[in-house]
Chain A
């Protein structure tokens, strides 16, 4: 069973915090990998929030291929950062030759483009990069979006931390939101894309669970939007559904829960908005999830979200202090990082709840 975690803070956090959050939940690790997404960046990236930040791992050939494509599209490099690699022997990591984190300037022709046009360019370029790297087996693109940095690697979480020098806190690599999983998705092939968190256009999702409606979700989503691709993990489907409801359909977040775990018919008909809920249940029947699932997500508005399935419920707990909120699979992780919090205020979401952490860190609990 995966252990997952999401931290949102008023302070700037170093990824070591994610490693520490997951360390005591190590029962859920199997040394298969470590991945994290940082959003609302601080440190070196603080001043480049509006510009797209590329996160990729590639061979030399892949790096060149990506650079060529970016240049051809018209992107220009503004800033590049490389992790401080520790080549200590004996580390359990299947490292890639290059890890690229670079901030790029939009093509000149996009100087007066709308936000939508820029976003369209980013997703199209991401897809193009991904396809090119896949065809030549020369690398992986994890995110290409403003204010977002992603790292995924195969191996022992502890050793991955050591390899990238992530255990030592510093002020260069920080963010106000970090989501992480200290494990690969081991249901299918161990591939980097299958590792949580997943990211798409400002939405980050990570799931502890089994989506038994994977086939249904996947066959429907594959035709819904160009960015819904890969499907290396059954959990990606939940992120894509969130993206579809919120970004494509522009429905309020409340309706996400009504989509993935619709209420039973007999209950809907007693609701005031039964006509709407029944329509959603019918129209998005193929986005329903079944099986045990807990989803933690980040929205482009930089809010955290947590929902569970309607029946089997994988564990999740939410702890809070004045300046930080943590959502994670097991309370031991929160105990390690927030020993002095008011433990009685911890939230254990139920099967009908959507928990939202706003930007001022207020926590809202919506009942479906």
Chain B
């Protein structure tokens, strides 16, 4: 019986197995050069050239491509090698029996994965079990998606109940008598908050370009949230900042520059988003590993090259009544009460309580409630957070909306939902269904990554956003990798995707006969699942 070292890592333990066809390989070296994880390497194999028992010594050296068997440099299945191989000599096979996560924890005393998406989708997608079932026929004919005009705009900012507007009537006309909370009308899709640092400068720039282009050329008032990583000063001082929602989170990264530049700003930003929590890693705070803190990231954020942690809590946040108000008031005051200030929380069993408290706040300071569901992605979070903490977005959004309905206060703090939208390829449908369930709009980061060329999947492929080695150059900070991303092309694709989504949203509004957003029009939805029907209070159909 031969010996084998069981307690060492073996190829069969890795999540992806390289299948290499030597007969097709021309030894061009592209595959090894393209692998950002250093997971494959050229190697020399000694082979026997004859089957003769006599000529035992007759061997030859063969150049092959081999997989590294390492806990650090291992194949993530991104497939870049297969993409560049001219002859299809390389294939990656998912190893269903991999032991990598066990081996990593056992040998490194650390969590094996720190970024990407939730890869443990056991519950199925609620949104896919909901259909738009109230189709206008006969007495209320459907609209024509191509010819009718539709308005896809939603308020962002605190909305006051009509009897609290303090309107006066003079000469038969309503006049304002008091300054009201800032309120803007925006497109119901917000480019989600991915920071400079979490994503590469090229990705961030492409999103910013697409945002400006959609606004200025197509008249689609989409907004982009900066994420907690600051904003280039030049953009801050430009007129395009009016399309940007500035994010502040517990690390306050980038705000030193923002505050210093304020006197030179020519436009107000679109809004401020205070991030309390994040759906992919609720209660976990933010984390940008030192490997991704490039020189320019240091400059924008004003930090040394080190792991950057946003604590899970905001300093001084002990109660909604005092701390959040303090934060909100300071942010409101910073822009002279002219800019909506919203809050982003991770979906949680407690979301409704938070929302209720904000609704009841007598100072009307909260201009939006962003709820982030567990299927969201993140630049860095422990696997345990990604896969095992959080709350699905659909029922939580619905809970919040119905809590407002219960008080007769729906719409007063606009609801925005995000987290895993478009997971099964139907972003517009997901957005529409959430709007019918009570969202004023949605936000997404995942779709933007996908559009830009992210190769990650919800079943474990790649998911290496935290490493700085993103093979698509999206979440990378390595210059060579970032240059793989064509800024203009990504911006163009983002614009095109939103234009397509705009058409698709209209194709859903038309048959239910809505020319404006059907916020809360849950009677348009049906479900084939009795539990979902009961939980979301929508019609069960079979």
A: which residues have CB within 8 A of B?
A: 1, 210, 212-216, 219-220, 222-224, 244, 248-252, 254-255, 264-265, 273, 275-276, 278-286, 288, 290-292, 310-312
CB interface residues, B 160-210, toward A, < 8 Å:
160-163, 165, 167, 169, 172-176, 180, 183, 185
Contact A290–B514 (Cβ < 8 Å): yes
Q: B332 at the A/B interface (Cβ < 8 Å)?
A: no
Q: Would you give the 0/1 interface string for B223-249, flagging 1 where the beta carbon is closer than 8 Å to chain A?
A: 000000000000000000000000000
Is the beta-carbon distance between A264 and B139 smaller than 8 angstroms?
A: no
- The 12 sampled A-B contact pairs (Cβ below 8 Å) are A210-B140, A216-B520, A219-B410, A219-B520, A251-B174, A252-B169, A255-B174, A265-B153, A291-B140, A311-B143, A311-B148, A312-B513
Q: Which residues of A contact B405 (CB under 8 A)?
A: 219-220, 223
Determine the chain A residues whose CB is within 8 A of the CB of B408 once the complex forms: 220, 222-224
Which of chain A's residues has its CB closest to B407's CB? A223
Q: Mark B293-326, 1 if CB is under 8 A from A, else 0.
A: 0000000000000000000000000000000000
> What chain A residues lie within 8 Å of B151 (beta carbons)?
264-265
Once bound together, how far apart are the Cα atoms of A273 and B141, in whole Å?
Answer: 33
Q: How far is A216 from B136 in the complex, measured between Cα atoms in Å?
A: 16
**In-complex Cβ contact of B176 among A224, A249, A276 (8 A):** A276
Interface residue from B140, B165, B410, B520 paired with A279 (Cβ < 8 Å): B165
* Alpha-carbon gap, A264 to B221, bound state (A): 14
Question: A286, B140: Cβ atoms under 8 Å?
Answer: no
Closest to A287 in B: B162
Cβ-defined contact, B174 with A213, below 8 A: no
Inter-chain contacts of B175 with A (CB < 8 A): 276
Q: Which of B161, B183, B512, B519 contacts A278 (CB 8 A)?
A: B183
A311 closest partner in B (C-beta):
B515
Contacts of A223 in B (CB 8 A): 405-408
Residues of B within 8 A of A288 (CB): 516
Verify B172–A214 contact, CB threshold 8 A. no
Known: A223-B408, A265-B153, A291-B140. A284 touches B174 (CB 8 A): no
- Tally B residues with Cβ within 8 Å of A: 43
CA A134 to CA B513, docked complex, whole Å = 34
Specify the main secondary structure of chain B where it touches its partner: loop
- Indicate whether A279 sits within 8 Å of B407 (C-beta atoms), given known contacts A249-B162, A251-B174, A252-B172: no
- Chain B residues whose C-beta falls within 8 Å of the C-beta of A283 in the assembled complex: 159-162, 165, 411
Q: Is B155 an interface residue, CB under 8 A from the partner?
A: yes
Chain A residues within 8 Å of B153, by CB: 265
Given the contacts A213-B521, A278-B185, A252 and B173 also touching, CB distance less than 8 Å: yes
- Complexed CA–CA distance, A214 and B522 (Å): 10
Q: Does B459 contact A (CB under 8 A)?
A: no
- Of residues 461 through 514 on chain B, the ones whose CB sits less than 8 Å from some CB of chain A are 512-514
- Asked whether any CB of chain A lies closer than 8 Å to the CB of B149, the reply is yes
How long is the Cα–Cα vector from A219 to B149 in the complex, in angstroms? 26
B506 to chain A, nearest CB (A): 14
A273→B513 contact, CB < 8 A: no
Assess A290 versus B169: contact at CB under 8 Å? Given A223-B408, A278-B185, A312-B140: no
Contacts of B141 in A (CB 8 A): 292, 312
- Given A215-B522, A249-B162, A311-B143, also A291-B136 (CB < 8 A): yes
Are A282 and B514 closer than 8 Å at their CB atoms? no
Of A215, A284, A285, A288, the most chain B CB neighbours within 10 A belong to A285
- Across the interface, A215 reaches (CB within 8 A) one of B162, B173, B406, B520, namely B520
Are A285 and B155 in contact, CB atoms less than 8 angstroms apart? yes
Q: Say how far A186's CB is from chain B's closest CB, in angstroms.
A: 10
B162 near A284 with CB under 8 A, answer yes
Bound CA span A210–B160, Å: 28
List, in ascending order, chain B residues with CB within 8 A of A216's CB.
518-521
- B98 beta carbon closer than 8 Å to chain A: no
Complex Cα spacing A214 to B136, Å: 13
Rounded to whole angstroms, the CA-CA distance of A285 and B532 in the bound complex is: 27
Chain B positions within 8 Å of A222 at CB level? 408
Output the least CB separation between B442 and chain A (Å): 17
The answer to the question of B458 belonging to the interface, with a C-beta cut-off of 8 Å to chain A, is no
Query: Contacts A1-B139, A251-B167, A292-B140: A282 and B522 contacting too (C-beta < 8 A)?
Result: no
Q: Does B450 count as interface, using CB distance less than 8 angstroms?
A: no
Bound-state CA distance A286–B172 (Å) is 24
Cα A250 to Cα B518 in complex, Å, equals 27
A313 nearest CB across to chain B (Å): 11
Bound-complex Cα distance A213 to B513 (A): 9
Report the separation of the CA atoms of residues A309 and B387 in the bound assembly, to the nearest whole angstrom: 49
In the complex, which residues of chain B have a beta carbon less than 8 angstroms from the beta carbon of A275?
176
Q: Would B407 and A250 count as touching, CB distance under 8 A? A: no
Shortest Cβ distance from residue A253 to the other chain B in the assembled complex, whole angstroms = 9
| B520 / chain A contacts, CB cutoff of 8 Å | 215-216, 219, 286
Output the least CB separation between A4 and chain B (Å): 15
Task: Beyond A213-B521, A220-B405, A220-B410, list 4 extra A-B contacts (CB 8 Å).
Answer: A265-B151, A283-B411, A290-B518, A292-B139
3 A-B pairs closest in CB distance = A223-B408, A210-B140, A215-B523
Complex Cα gap A273–B175 (Å): 8
A174 to B180, CA, bound (A): 49
Q: A residues within 8 A CB of B523? A: 214-215
State the Cβ distance, B224 to closest chain A Cβ, in Å: 20
> Least Cβ distance of B345 to chain A in Å?
23
